A and B are shown apart, each in its own frame.
Chain A
Amino acid sequence: NAGVTQTPKFRVLKTGQSMTLLCAQDMNHEYMYWYRQDPGMGLRLIHYSVGEGTTAKGEVPDGYNVSRLKKQNFLLGLESAAPSQTSVYFCASSGGLAKNIQYFGAGTRLSVL
């Protein structure tokens, strides 16, 4: 039982490059979330999804896009990376009987030079 899996674990980008972070969950959860974590800032919600084919903006959505074409996958895209997007990105999912509990992936450490 893998839970929530994020790929890649690490990535270095140059300013202006694009990339996609993949989040996959095997718990059949309805809800999925993307957070960024910066030193001293806690976890800030970027985008979230309440089901396949639906997405919505969180606290800090600018510069990011998301898609949820399949229930188990939630993709986070950076179209034109900026140094301000250097961060650790966490994906989480929740649903089922314990819908209030969010299960987090191991994170993706992204550096934009």
Chain B
Amino acid sequence: QQPVQSPQAVILREGEDAVINCSSSKALYSVHWYRQKHGEAPVFLMILLKGGEQKGHEKISASFNEKKQQSSLYLTASQLSYSGTYFCGTERSGGSQGNLIFGKGTKLSVKP
């Protein structure tokens, strides 16, 4: 039931782009993305709802393909501050009271 994230880790140079994928074996109502910097708490990035549009946050955007039960996070022109572990959290129904099943995370390292 835990969503599968890929890749597990990625190393970028500043200015490069990256895509992080999140796939579920079950139908999804929403996908949430969080970023966690080393030693800190996870921080909300964006949410994509079933039937919703692609969302954007600065140079970070995401899409949600309901039929394929997957979401992708796009990081363009990466900055050093983008380093961290990215988690997707999936919600199977709108009445789940916010219960999220998180993936294992994708560690992103941006080098100068």
Interface residues of A (CB under 8 A from B): 31, 33, 40-45, 48, 50, 58-59, 90, 94, 99-107
Query: B102 — which chain A residues lie within 8 A by C-beta?
Result: 42-44
> Are B97 and A43 in touch, CB under 8 angstroms?
no
When the two chains form their complex, are residues A58 and B99 in contact, meaning their CB atoms are under 8 A apart? yes
CA separation between A40 and B105, bound complex, in Å?
A: 8
Chain B neighbourhood of A48, CB < 8 A = 97-99
Whether B47 and A43, one on each chain, are in contact in the complex, defined by CB atoms closer than 8 angstroms, is no
List residues of chain A with CB within 8 A of the CB of B78: none
Q: Are A45 and B99 in contact (CB under 8 A)?
A: yes
Q: Which chain B residues numbered 93 to 112 have a C-beta less than 8 Å away from chain A?
A: 97-105
Report the minimal beta-carbon distance from A83 to chain B, rounded to whole angstroms: 22
Question: Which residues of A sit under 8 angstroms from B105, Cβ to Cβ?
Answer: 42
Contact across chains for B104 and A40 when beta carbons are under 8 A apart: yes
Q: Please indicate the chain A residues that have their CB under 8 angstroms from the CB of B89 in the complex.
A: 43
Residue of chain A at shortest CB distance from B97: A50
**In the complex the two chains form, is A90's CB within 8 Å of B99's CB?**
no
- Chain B residue, CB-CB nearest to A4: B41
